[in-house]
Structure 1
Amino acid sequence: MAWAAAAGLTVAALVARQRRSPEPAPGQLRAAALEVLEDALPQRRTFDVQLWDGTVLPAPVQPAAARLVLTSEHALGRMLRLPLDLALGEAYLRGDFEIEGDVSAVAGITEGFDAPFTPGRTARLLRAARLLRQNAGPAPHPVEARLDGQAHTRERDRQAVTYHYDVSNDFYKLWLDRRLVYSCGYFPTGTETLDQAQEAKLDHICRKLRLKPGERLLDIGCGWGGLAIHAAQHYGAEVLGVTLSEAQLREGRARVEAAGLGDRVSLELRDYRDVLAGGQGGFDKISSVGMAEHVGRRNMPTYFRAAYAALKPGGLMMNHAIAAGTHKTNLPAWLVALYSGNFMQKYVFPDGELLPIWETLQHAEKAHFEVRDVENLREHYARTLACWSRNLETHREQARAMLGEPRFRLWRLYLAACVPYFRDGHLSIFQSLLAKPDGAGHVTLPPSRADLYG
C-alpha cells in the first residue's frame, strides 16, 4: 500500500475513481497496455501475450506453453477492474481474452513473479492501469450461481449441489474416469492412467478403513456410486450412499444394478443430516470424499458429532477434503489486497468453504473422534486435475455443444486453474482417518501402516 500511495493512488482511490477520462489519443491505449504488461508480467512466465493488433510479447521461457490473446483494446482494462480475481475470471468468461494452449500456464502467473515491485514500477503500472480501466467501457456480467435462503440450510445446500453437479452426466463422462469418480486420484508410482489412479484411490480408502465383508459403510456424498460399488465388489461391504444430486442418483443406481449389487448397495437422495440425525446409526465405517467442503464452518461441529453418533464403538471414518493451503504468494501485499477470493463462490462452488486442516481436525476431536492418520495428497490432485483438463480439451467441441460457450469456458478455466493451486501449495487435500474408540478406549488398527501398501 505504501507503493500505491507513493504513486498518488490508494486502493480506495483505485476503487472509487471509475469516471471516464477524455477520449485517449490514437495509440495511447496500446502504449498503456504495453506498459502494464511489461511492468506486471513476470520474467519467468511460460506464455506469450498477443495484443488485439497482433503485437506479440514472447514468453521469456521458450517454447511457450500457451498464448494469452487480448481480443480488443478494451480487454485489458476490463481485466484490471477490481476486485482483480473476479475481473480476470469474468473477462475470460465473456471472451475478452482467449487462452491458446495450456490454460494452467496462464493461471499460475503469480508463481513467476521475481522482480520486486519498486515504487517507480508500481507508479507506472497503476497510472497505465487506471487509463485502461477508464476507457474499457461497460461489460455484461456472466451468469453466476444465484441461491435462495440462508447458507448451508438443507434447501440451499441442495441448490448449490444442483448448480455444480447436475450440469449433465454426459458432460462429466467426457473427462472423468470410467467410474465417474470426481475427486483426487492416487498415483503411487506416477505412471498410472486416470482410470488406474482412481481405482487405486478407492482401494486406498477402503484399505485405510480396513473394510471387511459384511461391514456396513455409510458413504456421505456418494456421487455416481464409484466408492460404494468398489467397496461392495472388492471388500464385501454393505453400503448406503447418499447424495443431493438427482442426476448423480439416477446414474449411480443404474451402475449399481449393472454391477449386480442391488442387494448390497443402496443409493438415496438424502441430506447427510437426515441420515446421521435420524437414528440410522450402527455403521462400522463412514466415508466422506469431497463432501466436507460443502458443509461450511458453522455446521462442522454438527457434521462430526452426527458422524460420531452414527458409528459403532471402534468404528472408523475417512474424511477426504480440500483444505486451505499455507503457501505464500510472491505478490506484494498491496496487490493481494485487490483480490476478493469470490470467483469460485460466484461461479463454481457456491457456498463452498475450505478450512485449514488444523481446524477440521479440531472440530473432529471436539466431537470425540481420535485422529489416527493424516495424509496430504495435493500433488496427486494436481496430477488428477491435469488429466481432467486434458480430457476436457480433447472433447472441447462436444462439451461446448452441451454447455454453451460461457459455461464451457468456466469449466475450462476452473479445471486448468486449479492445477497450479495444488501443485504450488495454495490448496491441499487431506485424507484424515478418524476413530471412535470403544468403551475401553480401544481401536482395532494394525500397529503400522504396512498393510496399506502390501
Structure 2
Amino acid sequence: MMTVGEAFDRYFDPGSGLRIEAYDGSTGGDADGQVVRLHSPEALNYLLTAPRSIGMMRAYLSGELSIDGMDEGNPYPVLTTYLTRLSARRPSLRELPDLARFVRETGLHVPDLPPQEAPAPWRRVAHGLRHGRMRDAAAISYHYDVSNRFYELLLGPSMAYTCGVYPDTEASLEEAQSYKFDLVCRKLGLSPGMRLLDVGCGWGGMVAHAVRHYGVTAVGVTLSRNQASWGQAMLEREGLTDWAEIRHSDYRDVTERGFDAVSSIGLTEHIGVRNYPAYFGFLRERLRDGGRLLNHCITRPDNRRNGMLKDPFTNRYTFPDGELSGVGHIISVMEDTGLEVRHQENLREHYARTTGAWAQNLSDHWDECVAEAGLGTARVWGVYLAGSRVNFEHNNIQLHQVLGVRTSDDGEAGLDLRPTWEVEAAVRD
C-alpha cells in the first residue's frame, strides 16, 4: 500500500518547502521544510473530499491537521511562504489505478463538517431568497454577532471593521481608522448643523466621529443586534445621544429624507450586485439636492466578473452570500440612478496594512480571543485575515471609495472647483 508520504511526493510538485509527517509514520516533501502534520485518516478525508482551501480549512479546524510553529493568530508568513506554492499535478492514466487504490484503502468518506462552516449557498434557502431581508439578516448575524469583546480585541479601540487610511507609513491602526473617518467626513463636506445617514454603521465609529468633530446630527443603521447595542451604549457613554442614534434596522426601513450626506462604509459587499440599482436609488432618495453619498467597499480588479464570491472558504466561513463587482460597474449604476460621480480612489494597499494590523491584534490577544469566541472561530479569523492581506497585496481584490452627488434639477452640485479633502486634516482629539 502506498503511504501518505509517498502519495505526497508522487502527486504534488516539488519545491513547496513543505514536509508532510503523517499518522501512518510516513514522511514526504522537503526534508528540511515547514512541517505539516496529518494526525489521522480523517485529515486525509477532509483533503480528498473538498477543494484545497476548504479541505485544508476543515482539517485544520477539526484539529486533524496542524503546522509546526505557525502563529495561529497571524499565519500570514506560513501562508505566503509555503501554502501559496502548494499545487498538485494531474496524475497520468497509468497512475490512476494506484491513486484509486490508495484512496479506497484510506476508507474515503465525507467527514463531519466543522461547526464554524456555513451551509452551501443552495442550502441557505431556509432563510429565504438570497439578499431578501431575512437571509441578509442571517448572513450579517453569522459574521458580526460573534462577540463584541472578541471584536474589541481584534479591531482595537476604534471598533472599525473597514479599511483604514494610512496618512504615512509610520501611522498606527488607530491613526489610520481616525484618518479614514475624517477623510469620509471631508469628502462629504460635513459642517455643523448637517444631517448624516450612515448605513451599515457597524459599532458606530463613523457616526461618533462625525458628531464629535463636525457638529452634525447622525443616524446609523445596522442589521447586527450586537453592533447596535454596543454602538448605542457608546453614544450614551460619550454624551452624544442628543445628536446621534444607532438603530438595529435594515437600511431599507429608513423613512427620513433630506439628509445632507450618506456614508456607506463596507455595506455594498452584502447587498448583492443585482440590487445595486435599487440600493443606490434608495440612498439617492434619502438625499437633498446637492447632498453627497460616499460609498466605500471591497471591489474586484476588473468588471468582467460581477457577483457571488467563488472562493469556497470566504463563502462558507466568513461572508455567506457576499458579492463583489468592479468599481466601473458601481460607478455605472450610481450614474444610472441619477448620482453624479465626482471622485473615486483605490485604497488597496491600505487594506493590506489594515488586515495585517488586525491579525497582529489577534495574535497578541490569542488566548483571550479563543476564550471569548472559541478556538475554531479564532482559527477562522487568523486564516481569513492572512488570506485577505495576500489578496489585497497581489491585486486580487481592491477597495474603492466613490463619491457621488445628487445634483439639483438645474445641475447644481454644490462642490468647490477643486476638492479640499486632501488638505491635511487638523489635529483632532
Note whether the superposition's TM-score is higher than 0.5: yes
Q: Is residue 35 of structure 1 aligned with residue 10 of structure 2? A: yes
**Correspondence for 1:281 among 248, 253, 257:** 257
Task: Name the TM-score, length of structure 1 as normaliser.
Answer: 0.81
Q: Which is worse superposed, 355-364 or 421-430?
A: 355-364
Distance 2:79 2:168 in 1: 27
* Percentage of pairs with the same residue: 36
Distance 2:370 2:101 in 1: 35
Root-mean-square deviation (Å): 2.9
Alignment of 1:116-265 (within 5 A): 122-123=90-91, 127=96, 133-134=103-104, 135=106, 137-138=108-109, 139-143=111-115, 144-145=117-118, 147=124, 148-265=127-244
Q: Which amino acid aligns with 1:269?
A: H
**Counterpart for residue 316 of structure 1:** 292
In structure 1, list runs of 5 or more residues that go unmatched.
1-23, 329-338
**Counterpart for residue 76 of structure 2:** 104
**Counterpart for residue 55 of structure 2:** 87
**Counterpart for residue 250 of structure 2:** 271
- Partner of 2:320, secondary structure, is coil
Q: CA deviation at 1:107?
A: 3.6
Distance 2:226 2:114 in 1: 25
8 Å contact from structure 1 (residues 75, 136) kept in 2:
no
Distance 2:21 2:303 in 1: 32
Distance 2:346 2:387 in 1: 20
Q: CA deviation at 1:379?
A: 0.8
Q: Which amino acid aligns with 1:242?
A: V
- Partner of 1:247, secondary structure, is helix
**Counterpart for residue 334 of structure 2:** 364
8 Å contact from structure 2 (residues 343, 404) kept in 1:
yes
**Counterpart for residue 427 of structure 2:** none
**Correspondence for 1:425 among 395, 401, 404:** 395
**Counterpart for residue 21 of structure 1:** none
Distance 1:392 1:451 in 2: 33
**Counterpart for residue 440 of structure 1:** 410
Q: Which amino acid aligns with 1:104?
A: Y
Deviations for 1:263-286, whole angstroms, at most 9, x for unmatched residues? Answer: 1111111111111xx3x1100000
**Count of residues in Structure 1 that have an aligned counterpart in Structure 2:** 403
The structure-2 alpha-carbon separation of the partners of 1:396 and 1:59, relative to structure 1 and needing over 3 Å to count, comes to farther
- Partner of 1:123, secondary structure, is coil
Deviations for 1:317-342, whole angstroms, at most 9, x for unmatched residues? Answer: 000011123499xxxxxxxxxx9523
Distance 1:254 1:212 in 2: 25
Q: Is residue 307 of structure 1 aligned with residue 287 of structure 2? A: no
8 Å contact from structure 1 (residues 68, 106) kept in 2:
no
Q: Which amino acid aligns with 1:137?
A: L
The structure-2 alpha-carbon separation of the partners of 1:437 and 1:250, relative to structure 1 and needing over 3 Å to count, comes to same
**Correspondence for 1:298 among 274, 277, 280:** 274
The structure-2 alpha-carbon separation of the partners of 1:76 and 1:380, relative to structure 1 and needing over 3 Å to count, comes to farther
Q: Which amino acid aligns with 2:58?
A: E
Q: CA deviation at 1:436?
A: 0.9
In structure 2, list runs of 5 or more residues that go unmatched.
425-429
Q: CA deviation at 1:445?
A: 1.9
Distance 2:303 2:407 in 1: 35
Q: Which amino acid aligns with 1:145?
A: A
Task: Name the TM-score, length of structure 2 as normaliser.
Answer: 0.85
